[in-house]
Amino acid sequence: MSRILIVEDDAIIRSALKRLLERHDHRVSEAGSVDEALALEPQGFDLVISDLRLPGEPGTELIALAAPVPVLIMTSYASMRSAVEALKLGAVDFVAKPFDHDELLETVARILHREAFKQGVPPDVAQPGGKHQPMIGNCPAMQVVYTRIRKAAPADVTVLIQGESGTGKELVARALHQQSRRAHAPLVCVNCAAIPETLIESELFGHEKGAFTGASASRTGLVEAADGGTLFLDEIGELPLDAQARLLRVLQEGEIRKIGSVETRHVDVRLIAATHRDLQSLSKTGEFRLDLYYRLDVMQIDLPALREREDDILEIADVLLEKACRRHARNGLRLSQASRRTIRDYPWPGNVRELENALERGAILAEGHLIHPDDLGLARTPRPQDRSPAPAPVLAGAGDQEASDGEDLSLEDYFQHFVLEHQDQMSETELAQKLGISRKCLWERRQRLGIPRKKSPRRSTS
Residues forming contacts to ligand ATP in the complex (CB under 6 A) are 135-137, 163, 165-171, 234, 276, 352-353, 356
Give the nearer residue to ligand ATP in terms of CB position, either 166 or 347. Answer: 166
Give the nearer residue to ligand ATP in terms of CB position, either 170 or 201. Answer: 170
**Residue whose C-alpha is closest to residue 242's, from 213, 271, 201, 294:** 201
Tell me if the bond preceding 389 is cis, omega within 30° of 0.
yes
Q: How far is the CB of 320 from ligand ATP (least distance, A)?
A: 7
Q: How far is the CB of 194 from ligand ATP (least distance, A)?
A: 9
Q: How far is the CB of 173 from ligand ATP (least distance, A)?
A: 8
| Cα–Cα distance measured from residue 122 to residue 147, given in angstroms and rounded to the nearest whole number | 9
Report DSSP letters for 64-99, one per residue. Answer: HHHTTS-EEEEESS--HHHHHHHHHTT-SEEEESSP
Give the nearer residue to ligand ATP in terms of CB position, either 224 or 312. Answer: 312
**Residue whose C-alpha is closest to residue 198's, from 217, 210, 213:** 213
Give the nearer residue to ligand ATP in terms of CB position, either 43 or 167. Answer: 167
Helix (H, G, I), strand (E, B) or coil at 300: strand
- Computed on alpha carbons and rounded to an integer, the radius of gyration of the chain in Å comes to 26
Q: Which residues pair with 374 in a beta bridge?
A: none
Q: Which residues contact 292 (CB under 8 A, 6 or more apart)?
A: 244, 247, 248, 251
Give the nearer residue to ligand ATP in terms of CB position, either 136 or 183. Answer: 136
Q: Which residues contact 345 (CB under 8 A, 6 or more apart)?
A: 381, 382, 383, 384, 387
**Positive or negative, the Cα torsion across 462, 201, 441, 319?**
negative
Give the nearer residue to ligand ATP in terms of CB position, either 323 or 372. Answer: 323
Give the nearer residue to ligand ATP in terms of CB position, either 61 or 356. Answer: 356
Cβ burial of 62 (10 Å; 0-12, 13-18, 19+) is buried
Report DSSP letters for 161-207, one per residue. Answer: EE--TTSSHHHHHHHHHHTSTTTTS-EEEEEGGGS-HHHHHHHHH-B
Give the nearer residue to ligand ATP in terms of CB position, either 44 or 122. Answer: 122
Q: How far is the CB of 135 from ligand ATP (least distance, A)?
A: 4
CA distances, 425 to each of 193, 198, 421, 431, 432 (Å): 20, 15, 9, 9, 13
CA distances, 42 to each of 147, 150, 211 (Å): 17, 14, 45
- Strand order through the sheet with 230-234: 187-191, 230-234, 270-275, 159-162, 299-302
Q: How far is the CB of 359 from ligand ATP (least distance, A)?
A: 11
Give the nearer residue to ligand ATP in terms of CB position, either 58 or 237. Answer: 237
Give the nearer residue to ligand ATP in terms of CB position, either 29 or 165. Answer: 165
Q: How far is the CB of 276 from ligand ATP (least distance, A)?
A: 6
Q: How far is the CB of 376 from ligand ATP (least distance, A)?
A: 16
Residue 340: CA count within 13 A, CB half-sphere: 10
Give the nearer residue to ligand ATP in terms of CB position, either 94 or 348. Answer: 348
Q: Which residue is nearest to ligand ATP (CB)?
A: 168
Q: How far is the CB of 398 from ligand ATP (least distance, A)?
A: 16
Cβ burial of 346 (10 Å; 0-12, 13-18, 19+) is buried
Q: How far is the CB of 321 from ligand ATP (least distance, A)?
A: 12
Q: How far is the CB of 234 from ligand ATP (least distance, A)?
A: 5
Q: How far is the CB of 118 from ligand ATP (least distance, A)?
A: 18
| Cα–Cα distance measured from residue 166 to residue 279, given in angstroms and rounded to the nearest whole number | 18
